[in-house]
């Protein structure tokens, strides 16, 4: 009966999938082996259906999607982040729906963290929801001090839910895992990791009635529609998270080790508000600005204002996207010499002035026909004892500029007066 229930669910899910995705071939082309006489059904419990049901979805102006419906797909162990599979041991959910943007191939979607897997497992022997996910009484027992044997019984009670957690964690780019069981329709339950439909776990009660119709499918239909609409929308929080996962673990960054910084204290709070978490050092940008001589440096120290040359008015200087996001300033001069420490920007952003407009400030050594950025700064006490290695400083800037998506006209040189940007994480490599 368990096998029959699993097969029956396959055809129910396949029909549900086909109603939402325009498929490129009929079902019999996927599940019937016509080379045999007579033709044979190739569905076998525990055996992967080698040719998945595939289709496309394009119902809004937002995003075209491609999708595949798999039966017993094997997710084999793979250490490579950008490959499909499990990062621990092989797992094989009963059913998997894989969805990705239509612009990309499957492999490209995996590489760019754009693939999304949703798994389903059939559990014929489960009749009641609390057998799968427990209930409030289980939470009460868990929160109290109990004997080890009691904890073991509680864990075993909803082992199927824990197995969904295993699918969710083990298979890369899995956003949801759900149990399908022949319980009373409407008794299912879904857990959402945050406020969106994905990531999530849960269970759906689906069973055939006396006429063979699937009771409870309407709930699963509504869920799948929510998933599709969610994945077609590029403004979701999950989309943002997947982008940052890709950025953090892209091949170039994957092998890079954390940067040691010894006894230096990196604040936990943002410099613009102690109620906010500090940016990760990889996203905390430092502006490397030029000063010509001691007089300009002393003027900045006295007035709390840093003047950074941008170039001549015709627009020879390329504005880097991170320029306005800088939170600290590092001043450097001829031969790459930099005074110890960092300057903290007292307010985000900067103002742009011509040399004529700046003359009233008394800033020494203004060049004719130039434009400048003005930053309000103060010495950051956390960094006052940190010295900078001039050759390492130039190297980390060059390395960062060589791997960013856009390319500047030229890299920094020892005598370059143009400002540069470097992440705080990289800058830590240049401290002595």
Domain spans in the chain, listed from the N-terminal domain onward: 2-249, 266-430
**How far apart (Å, rounded) are the C-alpha atoms in residues 410 and 319?**
13
**How far apart (Å, rounded) are the C-alpha atoms in residues 417 and 366?**
13
**How far apart (Å, rounded) are the C-alpha atoms in residues 262 and 386?**
11
Angstrom distances, CA of residue 416 to CA of 311, 317, 337, 399, 411: 11, 12, 12, 16, 9
Nearest CA-CA partner of 132 in 155, 99, 157: 157
pLDDT at 256: 76
**Backbone angles phi and psi of 212, in degrees to 5:** 90, 0
pTM of the model: 0.86
Cis peptide bond N-terminal to 361, omega within 30: no
**How far apart (Å, rounded) are the C-alpha atoms in residues 185 and 189?**
11
**Backbone angles phi and psi of 227, in degrees to 5:** -65, -45
pLDDT at 252: 57
pLDDT at 416: 57
Q: Which CATH architecture has domain 266-430?
A: Roll (3.10)
Token couple for 431 = 């401290």
pLDDT tens, the chain, 432 aa long: 999 999 999 999 999 999 999 998 999 999 998 888 888 889 999 999 999 999 999 887 679 999 999 999 999 999 999 999 999 999 999 999 999 999 999 999 999 999 999 999 999 887 667 766 666 666 665 566 555 455 444 445 578 888 999 999 999 999 999 999 998 888 888 999 999 999 999 999 999 998 889 999 999 999 999 999 999 999 999 999 999 999 888 765 556 789 999 989 999 999 888 899 999 999 999 999 999 999 999 999 999 999 998 877 555 566 777 888 999 999 998 877 899 999 999 999 999 998 899 998 999 988 778 889 999 999 999 999 999 999 999 899 888 888 776 554 444 444 456 788 999 999 999 999
Residue listed under structure tokens 């009670």: 157
pLDDT at 249: 86
**Backbone angles phi and psi of 405, in degrees to 5:** -65, -40
Chain centre distance of CA 187:
33
Say if residues 93 and 167 touch (Cβ distance below 8 Å). yes
CB atoms within 10 A of CB 3: 13
């Amino acid at each position: 009966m368990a096998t029959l229930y699993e097969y029956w669910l396959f055809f129910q899910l396949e029909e549900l999938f086909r109603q939402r995705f325009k498929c490129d071939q009929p079902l019999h082309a996927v599940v019937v082996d016509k080379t045999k006489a007579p033709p044979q059904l190739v569905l076998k419990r525990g055996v992967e259906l080698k040719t998945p049901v595939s289709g496309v979805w394009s119902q809004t102006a937002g995003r075209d999607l491609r999708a595949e419906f798999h039966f017993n797909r094997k997710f084999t162990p793979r250490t490579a982040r950008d490959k499909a599979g499990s990062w621990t041991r092989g797992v094989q959910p009963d059913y998997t729906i894989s969805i990705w943007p239509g612009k990309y191939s499957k492999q490209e979607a995996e590489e760019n963290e754009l693939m999304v897997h949703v798994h389903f497992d059939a559990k014929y022997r489960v009749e009641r929801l609390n057998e799968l996910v427990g209930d409030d009484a289980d939470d009460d027992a868990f929160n109290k001090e109990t004997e080890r044997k009691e904890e073991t019984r509680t864990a075993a009670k909803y082992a199927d839910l824990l197995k969904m957690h295993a699918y969710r964690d083990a298979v890369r780019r899995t956003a949801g895992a759900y149990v399908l069981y022949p319980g009373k329709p409407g008794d299912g339950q879904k857990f959402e990791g945050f406020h969106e439909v994905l990531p999530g776990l849960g269970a759906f009660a689906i069973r055939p009635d006396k006429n063979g119709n699937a009771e409870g499918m309407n709930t699963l239909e509504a869920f799948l529609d929510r998933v599709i609409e969610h994945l077609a929308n590029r403004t979701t929080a999950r989309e943002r998270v997947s982008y940052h996962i890709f950025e953090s673990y892209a091949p170039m960054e994957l092998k890079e080790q954390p940067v040691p910084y010894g006894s230096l204290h990196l604040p936990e709070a943002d410099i613009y508000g102690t109620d906010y978490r500090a940016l990760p050092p990889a996203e905390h940008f430092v502006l490397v600005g030029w000063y010509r001589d001691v007089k300009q440096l002393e003027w900045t120290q006295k007035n709390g204002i840093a003047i950074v040359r941008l170039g001549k008015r015709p627009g020879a200087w390329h504005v880097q996207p991170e320029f306005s996001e800088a939170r600290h300033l590092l001043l450097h001069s001829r031969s790459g010499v930099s005074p110890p420490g960092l300057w903290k920007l007292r307010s985000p952003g900067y103002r742009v002035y011509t040399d004529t407009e700046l003359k009233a400030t008394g800033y020494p050594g203004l060049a004719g026909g130039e434009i400048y950025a003005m930053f309000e700064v103060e010495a950051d006490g956390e960094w006052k004892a940190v010295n900078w290695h001039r050759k390492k400083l130039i190297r980390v800037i060059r390395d960062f500029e060589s791997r960013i998506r856009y390319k500047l006209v030229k890299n920094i040189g020892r005598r370059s007066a143009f400002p540069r940007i470097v992440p705080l994480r990289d800058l830590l490599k240049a401290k002595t």
